[in-house]
Chain A
């Protein structure tokens, strides 16, 4: 998946997820809840559950392979529900205190955005790895979610309270909100990404992945972060991209075929620079990195 498609599908997934969330809200007696804070919380929770799951799935399709995709999606949903619940309740509470309703959606967006990075943070935490990169990803997601909630909250409010569309107003409003949150979360992820890898040649040419961990594995094993299945001359774990001293280095996993950076064989951990060509087996990757202070 390319970054362009990632943005497109995040927005679309957010919209669809919010629409489905609306469907569930209609099916359940949510609107009959007399307490507005509880009702807004539950709607926010359902919205968070669906939108976070959708964004998590798209993110997993971009940045993960195999069973990791399912894990990421489920964790996003698990974080999205309480996040949306808390956001909805807090937003409604603030609204009753005189603040605009859009704050509630912005809060829900923040939690949904945070869900995208939750898996990486949890994984890094459990493995005792460096938390900087996963936290950056989470921060980017939260930033995008905040923007999405703010941007989508206004049209959502207009549609939601439409007198002429009592039924579909909420559907359109939530869909617009989910679409905006998805779009902004994806844009934040893409535009604020630190480093990425693009497959330029090979069976998965065109695929792009963000580097959001301090160790990214390349290989044909399912557990690899950059899975290159079906390629010739690639070991199960072929190489690693490591974050060391605030820069990315490439390390070959003692493979017979070797790993090459700009056609030079990697004998020891080799610092990567923006635009470097990484060749593993018959596959050619291009490393990209945003300029940063070192």
Chain B
């Protein structure tokens, strides 16, 4: 249960027998009446100092702390005092010790704790100053003096406080240069230096007085009076004003002899006399000349009214280029009153200078100059010129400098900090008040010194700039100009068509080859006829052979004369499109009219753009010669070009509805393959033969009819490289001219009658922007040179044209042969068998017709005649092959 003091109403702990705050006994537990002497109460356990000093009560503890101050301070900082108070059951003192410990100054902290100890043995500090007043006697303006002020603590504990100068500019405290206020803290005594700043003294008839106020934590405030006598110096020399001892006397003499006095004002003698007495010269700014100087002085003293001054220009504008120099403008200040005027002006920007003012009676002229236009092209700079004239009349003239644009790369950015700006005082200079009673002019008090501006870097210390050696402006523009030129050249080359793509193989030899090829075609006789449908499908006929079923018509190599049963599909990004099928707005003809006849009756082109992908496919058909020299073979190839901005995967498929004469289901011979292909077969990639061959009447050695050959690999039109097919399917015609990319491939004889077709696939290839690919094949006549009788015969099939050093097949057809019979091939000079081949081979099966193959190569170009196959003493007719350096055939 807590106890409440009956006197101070504070709450005390349960165990308290007297109030911890005022010592009044609680609940009648103590002696009746009066407070107990708490300071003398004995501690349950004594407090022992490190020196061994034992304290048994607060009185002893207080005295010990006073006498062993450093040890007590340390014990406080280490927390021993706080712990001890806590152990005594005095949490209030423990908290006070904790607060004292946290005080920034350890000495002040201990002093605060001692103030709270319940003891009366420690006296309050009490500060006394010696001397209590100081008389410095006569002191001249400008002379510095110093004396020491002695402070003594007459009480106990720590004395601390402040000593201040009260409204006295010529007194300063502490170490030089001194301050107007100083903190002190001491136990017994201290000395504070006091300075008399001679330049802050001012002459006067009356002695100058200053006060030092001392306030501390103990005792009453103390004031120390400092007196100094500063006599007035009379006007020096032997001039009109010599001997004058006050501004008033100077004004009176100047009024009487203004012209004579004007010189003294103009040359600054009056200002210097003011300064020698420590007075503030009333005229602010530069001194005027002539009578204007006297007028200026009188106005400053308030002895005469000032004329009304006007300004001719309210604002000034300059225009210039970077580094233009000495732009000038003259400002005129004038008055209509009959009084002389004076004026001064300053600029607030370093780029604008104000020249010397020319006074001329009632007008004054100021010249504004821009010595050098700053290197800040394109900027508009602002400045203010502050003009001060009679009677402290002030004007501000805004000045604008427009700097023209230019390309100056040599100058650095403006420095981050503004350049030093000349200070323009806004204060009206204080006039000397005239004391009517005394008849004297009392100088105005000297204002406190302006803060010292930070030192400016000393120009002489720095070495000269190398800016003069900087690169000229135009040099920086050279790389930019070169870049623009380089781009221009590229654009010109591009527009001139020189930006050929790498896929294309331009060059003189190629052009020569193309031209020769073209001439050969133009000079040869076509024996094939080509017909087109409106959607660019094509059919082939033999111009000089009649259709066996209708003699009026020509013999066909495709089922439909116009090729309408064939089709070509272009696959782009897995979308299938029929080549030649126009879809308005999407798939359109590029060539107009669609079919372009490149060489009359011999070569045609048709192009279609697949708009959704912007891929252009061109179908080229050209009749080309074989060994007969006639144009009896059709070269068909497609150019696929990606003209879009993105890549596309493109593929192509051709379905050819083969037909020879009246045979719609012709069997094919595949080089290297045993027997004949008369059902269905699929070849992939490397399995695909160079060509396949079909004979109109395979079982009739006497009249085999037309031999058609489909070239699949090694077709080399000049200037174009054809991709090899990826898949070849020989099967039954699907009975649908709009057959899709794929369907169910059936054997040729799956229907009531045989019907064959050939499907050639070129697989997907990704084309970059402007990427190209070419795919194609040849289809035309072959020759079958044989020796026939009714039952047995041997015939040779050779390609019309071969390419030097490129292998090709020679096929011998044996009619009525038996397995194991020998067939021998004889070659003319210039042709030879490949190393792996034997000249004599066996017939592999007994059949009405079998094929035997040899792989042969030509070692020289030319027409090589005399290829003969011999079987059972029967010889084929000699066959010939035209070998070229370059050929479009395999």
Contacts and interface: CB of A to CB of B under 8 A. Distances in A.
A33 B771 CA distance: 11
A15 interface: yes
Contacts of B465: 201-202, 205-206
A200 B415 contact: yes
Interface stretch (B222-230, B315-323, B450-458, B516-524): B450-458
Contact of B416 (A19, A171, A204, A274): A274
B770 A166 contact: yes
A12 B493 contact: no
B413 A208 contact: yes
A203 B462 CA distance: 9
Given A16-B483, A32-B502, A198-B415, A172 B462 contact: no
B573 to A, nearest CB: 12
Contacts of B417: 274-276, 286, 288
Given A29-B502, A262-B454, A8 B768 contact: no
A33 B766 CA distance: 10
A179 B487 CA distance: 13
Contact of B495 (A163, A165, A232): A165
A161 interface: yes
Interface string B463-504: 101110010000010011001001100110111001101100
A126 to B, nearest CB: 32
B463 A204 contact: no
Interface string B399-416: 000000000011111011
Max count, chain A CB within 10 A of own CB: residue among B410, B412, B462, B643: B412
A204 B501 CA distance: 50
Top 5 nearest A-B pairs by Cβ distance? A167-B499, A275-B417, A201-B462, A288-B416, A205-B465
A237 to B, nearest CB: 20
Contacts of B416: 196, 198, 274-275, 286, 288-289
B461 interface: yes
B190 interface: no
A5 interface: yes
Contact of A171 (B454, B487, B768): B487
B576 interface: no
A217 interface: no
Contacts of B487: 19, 168, 171-172, 175
A2 B411 contact: yes
Interface string B291-302: 000000000000
A263 B457 contact: yes
Interface string B636-655: 00000001011100000000
Given A200-B415, A205-B466, A284-B462, A5 B457 contact: no
Contact of A202 (B463, B479, B490): B463
A282 interface: yes
A264 B452 CA distance: 14
A262 B467 CA distance: 24
10 contacts: A16-B479, A32-B502, A165-B495, A206-B470, A262-B455, A263-B454, A275-B417, A276-B417, A279-B461, A283-B463
Contacts of B410: 206
Given A16-B479, A167-B490, A31 B412 contact: no
Contacts of A166: 494, 499, 501, 770
A5 B476 contact: yes
Given A8-B409, A36-B646, A167-B490, A232 B498 contact: no
Given A168-B487, A172-B491, A202 B502 contact: no
A283 B465 CA distance: 10
A204 B476 contact: no
A44 to B, nearest CB: 16
B457 A3 contact: no
Interface string A148-188: 00000000000001011111110110010000000000000
Nearest to A286: B415
Nearest to A290: B416
A277 interface: yes
A204 B466 contact: yes
A231 interface: yes
A232 B463 contact: yes
A34 B768 contact: yes
Given A206-B467, A286-B416, A161 B645 contact: yes
Max count, chain B CB within 10 A of own CB: residue among A39, A206, A262: A206
Interface string B248-283: 000000000000000000000000000000000000
A132 to B, nearest CB: 22
B409 A165 contact: no
B457 A284 contact: yes
B475 to A, nearest CB: 11
Max count, chain A CB within 10 A of own CB: residue among B410, B411, B768: B768
Nearest to A2: B412
A130 to B, nearest CB: 24
B768 A168 contact: no
Interface string A16-57: 100100000000010111111001000000000000000000
Contacts of B461: 279, 282
A4 B768 CA distance: 42
Contact of B483 (A169, A175, A196, A204): A175
A289 B415 CA distance: 11
Nearest to B502: A32
A188 B411 CA distance: 21
B499 A279 contact: no
A262 B462 CA distance: 14
B656 to A, nearest CB: 29
B768 A19 contact: no
Interface string A258-277: 00001110000000001111
A230 to B, nearest CB: 9
Interface in B640-674: 643, 645-647
A168 B485 CA distance: 13
Nearest to A36: B647
A271 B678 CA distance: 99
A119 B883 CA distance: 67
B483 A12 contact: yes
B412 A206 contact: yes
Nearest to B459: A201
A164 B455 CA distance: 66
Contacts of B462: 201-202, 279, 282-284
A262 B768 CA distance: 65
Given A201-B465, A204-B466, 20 more contacts: A2-B411, A4-B409, A4-B412, A12-B480, A161-B645, A163-B643, A165-B491, A168-B491, A168-B499, A172-B490, A200-B415, A201-B462, A206-B465, A262-B454, A263-B457, A263-B458, A274-B416, A275-B415, A276-B417, A279-B457
A264 B456 CA distance: 11
A283 B466 CA distance: 12
Contacts of B643: 163
A205 B467 contact: yes
A12 B490 CA distance: 18
Contacts of A161: 645, 769
Contacts of B470: 206
Contacts of A16: 479, 483
Contacts of A35: 766
A168 B463 contact: no
A66 to B, nearest CB: 19
A19 B211 CA distance: 82
A87 B366 CA distance: 66
Contacts of A196: 416
A223 to B, nearest CB: 23
